[in-house]
Structure 1
């Protein structure tokens, strides 16, 4: 049977700042991110299976990505916990803001890599993560492909 790619798109609002950066993005700012998640697999061939003909139910993929990414990052501010931004993060947290501290510089490149690892661990065994596209503006995005990371 053929391998088929299935893609689901998500959107969320996230703030961040790039500590040590030499441009405007050193300041706290936000993006309306768009995340496209593509998985690959073979459609279920068992005619008695409730999901016959599907690689993965779009609803099941949505549940994974919402729990791992969207619900965590939406309306949060992300800082690298290994920088002085940790002081700002603590202050914001104390004031009730949703703050995420990560082990990396929160660029699109590093976020999409982190997202790939989180999503891969939740997929059923017969489904593989094929690619992610994380778009931070209308004209700027980072892509992760499984084939580039073997």
Structure 2
């Protein structure tokens, strides 16, 4: 069977700051720069979820994109959109709200539902700015 990769794009807006309470203001500024702003800062995030698999012989789909969209919107976007990642998101509680950590936690949340829908989660790409993005492959080497 042929393996096909299919990607769904979603977006959300969220605020955060990179800050460690146990560090001084100076050390937070030194390590995190502008991202340590005490008054927070925000991003217009773009999320790309890539699923792989063999197309179903009856539908031609690796995964029904309607199902994938519902999984992402209900489990991720509704939890993150217009939220403060440091204060409002239970699955980030106790974690530094970096884009890297956010990508890992998104994977953990949607991996099982995607498998139940017939796909295999391959990659999370989370774009924070036009110049910065994270790709996460579930702790495995890509492809």
Which bin holds the TM-score, normalised by the shorter protein? 0.7 to 0.9
Given the alignment, which residue of 44, 67, 80 partners 1:32?
44
1:32-71 superposed matches below 5 A: 32-45=44-57, 47=58, 52-71=59-78
3-state SS of the aligned residue for 2:85? Answer: strand
State the Cα RMSD in Å.
1.5
Is 1:8–2:15 an aligned residue pair?
no
Instruction: Give the match for residue 17 of structure 1.
Output: 17
Q: 1:9-57 deviations in whole A, cap 9, x for unaligned?
A: 0110000111133211112110000000000111111x3xxxx111111
* CA distance in 2 between partners of 1:70 and 1:30 (Å): 15
* CA distance in 1 between partners of 2:76 and 2:94 (Å): 16
Structure 1 gap segments, 5+ residues each: 80-88, 90-98
Number of paired residues? 126
* CA distance in 1 between partners of 2:127 and 2:4 (Å): 23
* CA distance in 1 between partners of 2:112 and 2:121 (Å): 10
* CA distance in 1 between partners of 2:112 and 2:62 (Å): 17
Instruction: Give the match for residue 80 of structure 2.
Output: 73
Instruction: Give the match for residue 84 of structure 1.
Output: none
Contact 2:115 2:121 in 1 (8 A): no
Given the alignment, which residue of 133, 136, 139 partners 2:125?
133
Q: TM-score, normalised by structure 2?
A: 0.82
3-state SS of the aligned residue for 1:148? Answer: coil
List 4+ stretches of structure 1 deviating above 2 A.
146-149
Structure 2 gap segments, 5+ residues each: 21-27
Q: TM-score, normalised by structure 1?
A: 0.78
